[in-house]
Amino acid sequence: MSLLIRNARVIDSASGLDGLRTILVDNGRIAAIAEASACFRAEDEIDASGLWLFPGAVDLAAWLREPGLDQKATLESETRAAAASGITTLCYQPEPGASFDSAAQVKLIYDLNGRRRSANVEVLGNLTKGLKGEQLSNMASLKRAGCVGVTNGLQPFHSLQTLRRAMEYAATHDLTVFIYPIEHALAAGGYMHEGEVSTRLGFPAIPSAAETVAVAQTLALASHTGARVHFCRLSARLSVKLIRQAKESDLDITADVAAHQLFLTEMDVSDFNPLCHVMPPLRSSRDLEALREGLADGTIDAICSDHQPHEVDAKLAPFQQTEPGISALETLLPLTLRLVDEGVLSLPEALRKVTAAPARIIGSEAGRICVGAPADLVLFDPDDLWELDLNRMYSDGKNTPFAGWNFNGAVKRTLLAGKSVFVG
């Protein structure tokens, strides 16, 4: 089926586009890009006057829960939420209750998602069996099954030697190692950032050194093994500095940050708000500013949601007894674009941080608008003002501290391989 999109402002920094264009889609891919006045014919047509058109977002971290943790969310509910949020590709983050040791487990995810496909789902395989940090997984088999990388998530390694062997094995199969930098011996028993607020509240705390020590160790091993490493969810000021220095040394590394770390700090925990219980923890305002600077200068490559939907009960206990995580698909794009309003990033650069940059990290052909690229596209109304209402969220998880926030601009249509999977 062919589709014509007319009169949209097409924005894509990867292809250098920013202006009114006509886009022709055929057989799920972009067939032609021309001036807005171009005369094309297609079976269907959309007049996108007043709207922006940009690539669908690529989210590097979504905890999709199914199978194994279906009481929190399902693939159907979360991919539907992704489509409504302008996200067309999700990276499934493994966790102890839902992880990927075998090709059969990976295939199951593809099969489940294929039944009602609202977004592409890419899988990060286990770096060690069962994420237990002891025996290495069969990475060759996981790559053949389609995994775009391997990770141990938030689970510890038995030793640095295990991590070294895992990185060497991944390097032989050209697999990116996704590392959550956390030194568990320093973080053990902590719930929030170590600082004045944690002292006042009397909470066991996690020092920023728990992250920066792990970053330094991993950088040393990356240099030794030659592995390609992606650092997940940076939160600390010194971590940004270490990554910046390592990039200047030409190590094959990339890094991301969760969108909520760019707007919330330890002060948001001061009223014991369990919705602000996240891992890594919300840190100081100085850390937040360093993360923003790292985004602006290219040290941090991508912004992700770190979407962790929970059932209501998971956030009803006292702060230290609640499960960490934010339901974040529906705020990824709004928070990223707020960085434009606040002068942190230009509009093309902000969009690149959630499209072309994460797509490159997972080796995907998505995330750009050019002839031959997948027609995974978003039509966006920049003038639509709205408020995040928990009762109108598409995700099964309603655990977000951003309820009641006002945002500028809303997704009006999401296309996956040229087919509308959301119309707002």
For residue range 374-423, list pLDDT tens digits in order: 999 999 999 999 999 999 999 999 999 999 999 999 999 999 999 999 99
User: What local confidence, expressed as pLDDT, does residue 182 receive?
Assistant: 97
Fold annotation for 74-361: TIM Barrel (3.20.20)
For residue range 261-310, list pLDDT tens digits in order: 999 999 999 899 999 999 999 999 999 999 999 999 999 999 999 999 99
pTM: 0.96
Among candidates 128, 120, 150, which has minimal Cα distance to 56? 120
Among candidates 248, 284, 325, which has minimal Cα distance to 63? 325
DSSP secondary structure string, 296-319? HTTSS-EEE--B----GGGGSS-G
* Residue of 287, 306, 376, 396 marked active site: 306
Instruction: Tell me whether strands 44-47 and 52-55 are parallel, antiparallel or unpaired.
Output: unpaired
- What's the mean pLDDT in 77-83? 97
261 in Cβ contact with 282 (< 8 Å)? yes
In terms of CATH architecture, what is 2-53+373-423? Answer: Roll (2.30)
For residue range 351-372, list pLDDT tens digits in order: 999 999 999 999 999 999 999 9
Q: How many CB atoms lie within 10 A of CB 10?
A: 22
User: What local confidence, expressed as pLDDT, does residue 40 receive?
Assistant: 78
Task: Quote the CA–CA distance of 81 and 64 in Å, as a whole number.
Answer: 11
308 in Cβ contact with 395 (< 8 Å)? no
The reply to whether 306 belongs to the active site is yes
The angle formed by the CA atoms of residues 60, 227 and 298, to the nearest 5 degrees, is 50
Q: Given pLDDT bands bounded at 50, 70 and 90, which one contains residue 77? A: very high
10 Å CB burial of residue 358 (0-12, 13-18, 19+) is buried
User: What local confidence, expressed as pLDDT, does residue 68 receive?
Assistant: 87
User: What local confidence, expressed as pLDDT, does residue 114 receive?
Assistant: 86
CA-to-CA dists, residue 52 to 83, 347, 417, angstroms: 16, 11, 18
DSSP symbol at 335:
H
Among candidates 73, 90, 117, 8, which has minimal Cα distance to 332? 90
User: What local confidence, expressed as pLDDT, does residue 246 receive?
Assistant: 97
Element (H, E) at 55: strand 52-55
Q: Is residue 36 predicted with pLDDT exceeding 80?
A: no
Q: Given pLDDT bands bounded at 50, 70 and 90, which one contains residue 39? A: confident
For residue range 214-263, list pLDDT tens digits in order: 999 999 999 999 999 999 999 999 999 999 999 999 899 999 999 999 99
The tokens describing 120, both together, are: 């592409």
- What's the mean pLDDT in 326-334? 98
Return the domain boundaries, the chain: 2-53+373-423, 74-361
Task: Quote the CA–CA distance of 25 and 377 in Å, as a whole number.
Answer: 10
Q: Is residue 116 predicted with pLDDT exceeding 80?
A: no
Task: Please report where in the chains the tokens 């075998």 appear, as a residue.
Answer: 102
Q: Given pLDDT bands bounded at 50, 70 and 90, which one contains residue 189? A: confident
User: What local confidence, expressed as pLDDT, does residue 101 receive?
Assistant: 93
56 in Cβ contact with 378 (< 8 Å)? yes
Which one has a higher pLDDT value, 97 or 120? 120
Task: Quote the CA–CA distance of 319 and 313 in Å, as a whole number.
Answer: 12
User: What rounded mean pLDDT belongs to the chain?
Assistant: 96
Task: Please report where in the chains the tokens 């001036």 appear, as a residue.
Answer: 35
Task: Quote the CA–CA distance of 326 and 179 in Å, as a whole number.
Answer: 20
For residue range 250-268, list pLDDT tens digits in order: 899 999 999 999 999 999 9
User: What local confidence, expressed as pLDDT, does residue 1 receive?
Assistant: 80
For residue range 86-110, list pLDDT tens digits in order: 999 999 999 998 999 999 999 999 9
Q: Is the peptide bond before 156 cis (omega within 30 degrees of 0)?
A: no
Task: Quote the CA–CA distance of 145 and 125 in Å, as a whole number.
Answer: 10
115 in Cβ contact with 74 (< 8 Å)? no
User: What local confidence, expressed as pLDDT, does residue 41 receive?
Assistant: 82
113 in Cβ contact with 91 (< 8 Å)? no
DSSP secondary structure string, 76-111? HHHHHHHHHTTEEEEEE--BTTB---SHHHHHHHHH
Amino acid at 333: L
Tally of helices (H runs) and strands (E runs) in the chain: 12, 18
Among candidates 278, 228, 226, which has minimal Cα distance to 257? 278
Q: Is residue 321 predicted with pLDDT exceeding 90?
A: yes
Give the CA dihedral 353, 355, 360, 363, nearest 10 degrees: 150
Q: Is residue 55 predicted with pLDDT exceeding 80?
A: yes
